Structure 1
Amino acid sequence: MVAVHIVRMSRLRACVTLAHVRYTSTQADPAPNPGTRGHMSAWQIHHYGGNEELTLSSTVRMPTLRSPEDILIEVNAASVNPIDVRMRGGYGRVVFGVMRKGLSSLPFLQPDVPSEFPLTLGRDFSGVVVETGKKVRKFRIGDEVWGAFSINRQGSHAQFTVASEKEIAKKPAKLTHVEVGSMPYVAMTTWAALCSVGEMKESNTLGQRVLIVAGSGGIGNFAIQLMKAWGAEVTTTCSTDAVHLCQGLGADNVIDYTTSNVAEELKRISGFDMILDTIGAKNHGVSVDLLKSWKNSKYVTVVPPLMKNADEYGLLLGTAKSMGTLGFNVMEGFRGGRSYRWALFVPNGRALGQVTEMVENGQIHPAIDKVFPFSEVPQAFAKVEQGHARGKTVIDVTKME
């Protein structure tokens, strides 16, 4: 039997805000006192589009705790991820709209559902607890925390945000907020792919041969370190200027796609136990044929076609088309006893707590490309949109200019 694992819709509380950006020169006000329930500054979008849709407003109402497990957090740092840039243009608006509002948001069921706008961008953060719900037991006011939350919440590109107790963990004490703010989204996406879906864990990873496609990106950076910490032999792909970065993170074999024929190189060293596809690499010489021919070898992609197909064809037809693609890919691997699987981000405070321990033990390190002040969020988006990441792009929310 071929095991097919798809993160279910009820769990796809994806760490992505549907975002687009209109840039204005409005300056952010000093952080308000949460006890006054006044206003704060936040980057918001009111339409899907390009970087011009992002607006910095200083009159956004403070978020409130709607659940006894909610926590109000003063944001010190947050990151910008490639998924944020794609969603700025409307990527995933159908699926994520249903996740936020329920099936009643479908036009043929209820055409007058309120608009999702304005939306605040950003899905991960590092900050300080300033208020807790009545059922919160693990965290107290003043605790430094980090986390990544689900799509039904407003984002972290703001002075304050709200997360569930189950979506956060204590911040690694040895790192700054900026360093920590670079990791939660990619950490939990990687964890969902390699651990929850791919079934990798510390006890079974020693000696496993793992291919990580695009090791210089945020997910690739984290995946290399996680697999090496657990004893895997790691192969990755990147461009020439990122080779030293990937080697420094611990990769055993680095294939430079600008100077080598990736398909030929991978075919030469094939026989992987696990392939993590971070970019949708089926057209880049990467396929299930590179896996070992036994039932425990897995190809996991974090770029399934569901969101794109739903946006283009509607929820029902898009889902059907995606299932057809999945079925074809599964059968492609079936003949060798391999499995093909989809994975998406899922908030996981417990897993993030394990990552905290690994950071404190020196097994995981942040890989940061550039830090932008809060007033330059559009520039941060522009950098991520250019591609060719050499680490994460981070926003220092405490710096306004």
Structure 2
Amino acid sequence: MWIQKGFFRPFLPKFPFIPGTDVAGEIVEVGSAVREFKPGDTVVSKLNFWKAGGLAEYVAASEGNTVALPTGVSAADAAGFPMAGLTALQGVKTIGTKFDGRDTGANILITAASSGVGTYAVQLAKLGNHHVTATCGARNLELVSSLGADEVLDYMTPEGAALMNSLGKKYDYVINIAKANRWSVLKTTLSGQGRVVDVAPNLSNIVASFTTLFARRKLSLLNQSLGKEDLRFLLELMEEGKLRTVVDSRHPFEKAAEAWEKVFSCHATGKVIVDM
């Protein structure tokens, strides 16, 4: 265990008492059992989800969930991605992506593509050679396109609400990040062997995944379980310029409440960062 300070990315928790899970900065103290790091090292860490504690000048983190920060990757950019980046990576891996240069790709849909998870998911899906249709609000169409999406739909239009691409082609996979999308709509977009990976399932989709035989075969609820090696993989992609953090806004620690307001508004584009 050690203490570090630097940058914090506010995390919108499922429960209001969890005050942040992602941090990046400089180690100022290490425990006697720590072997990989020393004071002065710059690192990025995913804190324990149930304990968190990232909104502080000094935080304690586990060696098992911390990775050295590569040269060329800023602490602010790194602080944005542990939870969201790992969730996006698991979603893209769940649809069979290997990132070994042999991925043949599939026709996929990513919803809420301008969100924290979505911005990473689009980039990772393109690295896996997938053809990506994405949904977001009108103001973020250009941004999501710049991340690599082949087609971007405004979710407020009839086509966007129906999740239908311009060619009317069904999807091999849907990575659903938009909480409002119901299984009754999602299933109509799938090809014969298509599947949905639901990152932020609403109650209706949770019930369907357990009670409906067709949904149980076609709908997977994502439970983020990736760890340190995957965190290191994402950092390597960032160092190589293949993955970037989209930063909505940065706030000084004294104005952390403003950052929380931005997160809870559900209208942030990418990540919200607090500087210590």
- When normalised by structure 1's length, the TM-score is 0.63
Moved more, 72-81 or 268-277: 268-277
Tell me the CA shift for residue 122 of structure 1: 0.7
Partner of 2:20 in structure 1?
A: 122
Does the C-alpha gap of structure 1 residues 302 and 391 become closer, same or farther in structure 2, counting only changes over 3 Å? same
Matched to 2:188, the amino acid is D
Q: Distance in 2 between matches of 1:227 and 1:73?
A: 35
Q: Which runs of 5+ in 1 are unaligned?
A: 1-69, 89-118, 310-320
Does the C-alpha gap of structure 1 residues 75 and 284 become closer, same or farther in structure 2, counting only changes over 3 Å? farther
Partner of 2:243 in structure 1?
A: 364
Tell me the CA shift for residue 389 of structure 1: 2.1
Q: Secondary structure at the match of 2:175?
A: strand
Tell me the CA shift for residue 263 of structure 1: 4.3
Partner of 2:192 in structure 1?
A: 293
Partner of 2:266 in structure 1?
A: 387
Matched to 2:208, the amino acid is T
Partner of 1:76 in structure 2?
A: 6
The structure having more radius of gyration, on CA atoms, is: 1
Q: Distance in 2 between matches of 1:199 and 1:328?
A: 25
Tell me the CA shift for residue 286 of structure 1: 4.2
Q: Does 1:348 align with 2:233?
A: no
1:219 to 74, 98, 117: 117
Q: Distance in 2 between matches of 1:277 and 1:205?
A: 21
1:87 to 15, 18, 24: 15
Q: Secondary structure at the match of 1:266?
A: coil
Q: Distance in 1 between matches of 2:139 and 2:198?
A: 25
Over residues 271-305 of structure 1, what are the superposed CA-to-partner deviations in whole Å (9 max), with x where a residue is unaligned?
A: 222211112243397413322212xx431112235
Partner of 1:304 in structure 2?
A: 201
Tell me the CA shift for residue 251 of structure 1: 0.6
Does the C-alpha gap of structure 1 residues 140 and 198 become closer, same or farther in structure 2, counting only changes over 3 Å? farther
**Residue 124 of structure 1 contacts residue 184 of structure 1 at CA under 8 Å; is this kept in 2?**
yes
Number of corresponding residues: 274
Identity %: 26
Q: Does 1:328 align with 2:229?
A: no
Alignment of 1:158-169 (within 5 A): 158-169=56-67
Does the C-alpha gap of structure 1 residues 78 and 217 become closer, same or farther in structure 2, counting only changes over 3 Å? same
Does the C-alpha gap of structure 1 residues 74 and 298 become closer, same or farther in structure 2, counting only changes over 3 Å? same
Does the C-alpha gap of structure 1 residues 325 and 285 become closer, same or farther in structure 2, counting only changes over 3 Å? closer
**Residue 150 of structure 1 contacts residue 346 of structure 1 at CA under 8 Å; is this kept in 2?**
no
Q: Distance in 2 between matches of 1:275 and 1:151?
A: 26
The CA RMSD measured in Å over matched residues stands at 2.5
Q: Which runs of 5+ in 2 are unaligned?
A: none
- When normalised by structure 2's length, the TM-score is 0.89
Q: Distance in 2 between matches of 1:172 and 1:180?
A: 10
Over residues 50-82 of structure 1, what are the superposed CA-to-partner deviations in whole Å (9 max), with x where a residue is unaligned?
A: xxxxxxxxxxxxxxxxxxxx2x1322111123x
Q: Distance in 2 between matches of 1:373 and 1:200?
A: 38
Q: Distance in 2 between matches of 1:304 and 1:284?
A: 9
Q: Distance in 2 between matches of 1:271 and 1:328?
A: 25
Q: Distance in 1 between matches of 2:64 and 2:179?
A: 30
Matched to 2:214, the amino acid is E
Over residues 12-40 of structure 1, what are the superposed CA-to-partner deviations in whole Å (9 max), with x where a residue is unaligned?
A: xxxxxxxxxxxxxxxxxxxxxxxxxxxxx
Partner of 2:68 in structure 1?
A: 170
